[in-house]
Each structure stands twice: as C-alpha cells, then as structure tokens.
Structure 1
C-alpha cells in the first residue's frame, strides 16, 4: 500500500491522495486496505513516515558521499540533497507537511532522523569554531531548513517562474548559506 501511494504521488504531482487512489494503484479493493492498517489514518501516517525516512536517507547519503573540504561544504551538500528531494518529488514533499501532526513537527519526533545530517553538520561547524548565524546549533538548523523550505514552497507555487527550477532554488539556498555562515 505504501509503495502504491508513492507511485501515485510520483505519477500525479499535486494530487490529493485518497484511499481509493492508493487501493486502485495497488490493485485491490478499497476495503482491503483495512487488512493492512487499522484505519485510513494509520495508512497515511505510515506513508508520511516513509517519506520522512526517504528524505532522511537522501540527506544522510549526501553527508557521507565524499570527503568535504570544509564543514560548510558538507552542509551545503546536505541542503542540496534536501532541495533536490523536494523539487524532484513535490507531492511527497508537500505530503510531509500536509499530513504530519503537530506533535510530529519537532526535532525529537520523526523529523529528527530526517534532519540529523543537517544538525550534525552544523554541530561540526560550531565545534570547529565556526560562527553560527543563530549562535546555537538547533536554531541554526531551523534557520537553514526554513530557508530551504520557504524557497521550495515559493517555487512549487509558481514552477514556471524564472529561478524556480530545481537548479535555481538550489543555487539560491547555497548562496544564502554562504552569506549566513560568513556573517
């Protein structure tokens, strides 16, 4: 069911995911979903958890992909992966924030594993004596993620507008990170 939901999200960006769509893509009758999940909410919660897991895996992969010259270069690689995930999979990315409960939206919940690479990279910058724009690791992580999330959201609202391509959004985020960490 979760794989069917992912296929539906990827094939039909911007679609409002429904139980019927997922069941149809999985090749089962809608009531069959209840054999796998106690209710529709549980199914959607699992889909959201899987999207967070996938994004976290992409960020972690970027963190260890190569030996970076500087801790900021590592952070920028991770934030590039964040932007690419969001821009390449807009429906999955939007789902992360549309269906996650408020209790899940803290760095101690499902977000923490997804954002661990960002937090760890900023910690390395701090430990190395680098100046953080928000002076502490957690607020700096939130600043970097908010910067990326806001720019991604603007691009998703007007994808045809100049600068709203994945490359344009990525360039904006990376240039702004350079400015923030030079201050």
Structure 2
C-alpha cells in the first residue's frame, strides 16, 4: 500500500533528521520514490504525515515493551524492563519521540501505551490483569509515565544533566517505580 510506504519513508526521514525543519513532504516523497503530489492522495499535509508517524511510534514502543517482557521476571522487573525499553526508544529515535510527545490530543496508540504501564503497576500489587483500572491507578500510571518521559528527555541529548550525573538511569527508574507502587498501596489503603 502506498500509504504504508509513505509512512515508512517519513519514519526514515524523521529518524535521519536533526530537527523537524529538515522534514518536508518533498523529502518524504523522494525517500518513498514518488512524486510529492502523490502524498496528497493519502495525507492532507505534512502535519498529518507527522501525526501518523507519531501514532505508529506509540504502537511501536508498546510492541517493543511487550516483546521484551520476560514472563519469568517479577511484575516489578517487567515494569522496570518496560520503562527501560521506553527510554531506549527515545534515545534511538529522538526526533520521532519528540513528535510523539508533542501531540496535544492523546491518540489511541498513546492511550494503549499508558494502559501497558497501568497494567504493569497493577500487576506489581498482585492485581488481576483483567480488572479494569481505577481512576486512581490511571492517575498514578500517568504520573509514572510523565516521570519516565522526563528521564527519556534528559537522555535524548549528549548534554550533561544535573540530576542524573550522580545516579544511574536504572536507579532513577527503579525509584520511580517504587514510588508509584507505594502510591498505589496508599490509595488502596484509603478505600
């Protein structure tokens, strides 16, 4: 399908670019081996292509997290592995990750990524994965996701950063997970 080829080409252009200004419909079309006007049959403009790449990026990071999950690990270790995978994705694809996180409306794939975190947190408390999350668990999972996003953003550049110079990324992620689990425990105790 030409739409899929355009998305693949756009992803390659984005991953090779240093900044968003380097990504044009013309460069995407050239990478796909088509004329620039052919893109308009599938996308209204450059922003709609970038939105589709961002949505595909969320699906990819969720798939990578799921694929790297080891069923022999404890739920806490699986959640930790998922957070590591997330940060690694942001490091490997800095511009694509920036596009994924600058969208104002939460897309279906981004919601799915948050659901992966919520289920991972609930599993740490021994919860049934089929039990629907509460607004409290959703809020705590969102807070963990925002914190891990901060770690990912600090690792996107080679610029030294104040807080991560004394601690490893793994130590920070483990601390964030432990804090989220404590928040879930606290919320469960207040019911």
- Residue deviations 1:86-144 (CA, integer Å, cap 9, x gap): 1111111111023x2x3326xxx33122233211111122345xxxxxx9311221121
Instruction: Work out which of the residue numbers 43, 67, 76 in structure 1 matches 2:72.
Output: 67
2:19 touches 2:95 (CA, 8 Å); kept in 1?
yes
2:57 touches 2:96 (CA, 8 Å); kept in 1?
yes
Q: CA deviation at 1:159?
A: 1.6
Q: CA deviation at 1:168?
A: 4.3
Instruction: Work out which of the residue numbers 8, 17, 30 in structure 1 matches 2:13.
Output: 8
1:97 aligns with 2:101: yes
- Bigger CA radius of gyration: 2
- What runs of 5+ residues in structure 1 fail to find an aligned partner? 129-134
- What runs of 5+ residues in structure 2 fail to find an aligned partner? 1-5, 128-134, 184-191
Instruction: Work out which of the residue numbers 31, 39, 51 in structure 2 matches 1:25.
Output: 31
Distance 1:147 1:24, change over 3 A: same
Distance 1:27 1:104, change over 3 A: same
Distance 1:31 1:148, change over 3 A: same
Q: How does 1:143-158 map to 2 (within 5 A)?
A: 143-156=143-156, 158=157
Alpha-carbon distance in 1 for matches of 2:46, 2:179:
45
Report the count of equivalent residues: 169
Partner of 2:120: 121
1:122 touches 1:141 (CA, 8 Å); kept in 2?
yes
CA RMSD in angstroms, aligned pairs only: 2.9
2:50 touches 2:99 (CA, 8 Å); kept in 1?
no
Alpha-carbon distance in 1 for matches of 2:170, 2:11:
24
* Structure 1 length-normalised TM: 0.76
1:86 aligns with 2:85: no
Q: CA deviation at 1:30?
A: 1.6
